[in-house]
Structure 1
Amino acid sequence: MERSRATFPTAFGDAIRSVYDHFHKWKAAEWSNWCQIFAPVYLKGHLPNEDYKEFMTFVSAVRTSCDYTVTSSECRDIRQSMARFMRYYERRYYRRDWARLSAMRPVFHSLAHVAECIEDVGPGWVYWQYPMQRLCGLLTSKNHLSFTIRTEEHVAAGLDGEESEIEEEAPRHVDGAKIYEIYIGIVKAYQNREKGKELSDIRLSETSDGIYLKGKAKTHVFREAETSCLQTFFDTELLLKHITVFNPSGEGAPLMPPEAIPSSTMKRYRAVFVNPDQASESFLVPSADMSPRSETKTASWVRYEQVLNEKEVRANVRVDEEDEEDDDYTRSAFGEVRYFFSISPEEGHVEAASRLRPAYKMAFIEWYPVYADGLLVYSDVREKPKLELVPVEDIKELIGLLKKEQRRYIVGKTRSIQWKRDR
């Protein structure tokens, strides 16, 4: 598991710790990640097939119950899935044998009431204990419960980079109101610092698509393969918009004159994808070429939409039933973002430039073929990537990789990517 630390984004949670060595120290958030993300990957091949199948039924119910919105029909599915898993577990492991009674932990009984709790008081996020556990961790992070109190004035000063702290020793019995005050102060300081760090220049610009290219920039001269990708992209754009460009070279030559394609651009450090209606769906993607090299974290892998060509459509390359009515014939693809940039045709070369976009936000991505392992999706570490030019708006989510032997299993923030649903 710990081999996957470098490819598990910070936005997904704490650094991965081995379940074998550190399970007794795991926090609630780590157990949540284990159930929804890690276990489906690392238990596959170790559990008997029948056990793994029933365990995945339980995992599916947990994922649904952790959603921010749970419908009545989903509550029924949760109740049925939990009941099915409990019956199977009791039949498989307990077997009504007194000697096996230790396998029936009291906490298992709570699974029977998950759907009932959701119906009574709402989804799990309303009352789960992750925030309280974080608070306890903050209060006990220093010896003898010493902690830092940050007043409103200190928080304000901290936003300017001049943080001032007051060390106070906690009494043996800490007043609940005081704990709450400390917690709120720390949370506000963290939120303000993160907003100032990640979104500082977003306030200075407006964009209709909710996508911002930001951070440090660096001049880059396009290589031959990249220029070829740009040529293909602009030709396709002109064809889709039914724009006729005078082509003195005659039929069969590129629609976009080669001299209209810029020879260089400014690499951008990262892209921020903001969803104003659902903050939890916003995410940030740094580019691999512009990120500092680190052995601890890399977070440049993404899932994006890829349009199938005519040959792939005829071959019926993994087009799901629900997508068969879609004329676009798109599928999910996975790769690592090399860098982001903005580009537009050189002035004076495109006759119908007014009908093209003023600028295109693009990303060069190293695309890797993926394969199915049951419901899971993985790429082979021995395969070489293929360079692709992708409009930034086609990027749908940040993903992580879990390494297992020669495979890299693809996971999302709260789930392992599944072949049928995500492909």
Structure 2
Amino acid sequence: MRSAAWIATVTLTIAAWPASRDAAAQQRYPSSAGDLVVETVAGGLEHPWGLAFLPDGRMLVTERPGRLRLVGTDGKLSAPITGVPNVAGRGQGGLLDVVPDPGFAQNRTIYLSFAEPRSGGTGTSVARARLNERGTALEGTKVIFQQMPTIASNMHFGSRLVFDQTGALFVTVGDRYGQRDQAQNPANHIGKIMRIRPEGGAPADNPKIEAWQPEIWSIGHRNVQAAALHPQSGQLWTAEHGARGGDEVNTPKAGRNYGWPVVTFGIDYSGAKIGEGTSKAGMEPPLFYWDPSIAPSGAAFYTGAVWPAWTNSLFVGALAGQMLVRLSTQGEAVTGQERLLEGLGERIRDVRQGPDGFLYLLSDAPDGKLLRVRPAK
């Protein structure tokens, strides 16, 4: 087992970013740690979805229609990397998250989640592959997980990928929208969080509960598009979409039931009640919820030196809310909320801390951007 030190941020020396090419993004935004400036690192991305830093400071960015690109430390976009799996780029589907293997510096392995086209419909899948030395192609691409059953829907795929301290991979998915009652059925992968081995299959220490599929870690989730590992405890934290209201922050534990759709703080889009109320014995309450909904996507804990007052804060992107939310935390409690970058006018799809200690965001748009958030000088 890896020690807790395994998840510490690695200090890297990277080239200084060029001046922003987007003058409008130079507007200042107030925060509890002083004014913030948002700069455009790269533009021209079609619905960018997932962002990951490589050891040399370059970034991998997924575009939902099915493209994977490298972004240089000078902000230059690569041509699309070849070898990416075919994706169902319809509705909410497409190429989703990307994460490098913990041993990327040695093995150059990355993992992708995506909406996979299948006979009879689609499902969230995960593939692993080796990025070649030139950064132009994926080699040996292999699907290591498939959400089952296949559903004829273009909605609620999730999906975030997070390595835990042991090297197992958490995979979040959605309830496929029309299948919400199946989130309570542990015999399938609908509305669940999975924990798998890097080569596929279930780790030996996963929950061993009768009728549960071996990959399942927790059940009763709606559509988890934000997930991050706590830098001290190593506990997984997630944020998931509610319906009208009821977006939740949870710390999913092995073998637990998080309630959807039996308990929720939201209502149906029609205005109708969902489930039995907001609590029920045997179902875990959220640590925090939003009502009205902000539509959370992307999350990162802050561990850098740029804003020491924000250490261990959880930053969550907001799509409908068009902002960045900072949740202060203490242990497994949310102790406060700060809404940042209101007025930026961008749907925030992903959030990452860079090796320079700044925050990096993806904006979800046909002409989406990779943004950097830094203190105003």
| Fold similarity call, TM over 0.5 | no
Q: Which has the higher helix share?
A: 1
Relative to the length of structure 1, the TM-score reads: 0.27
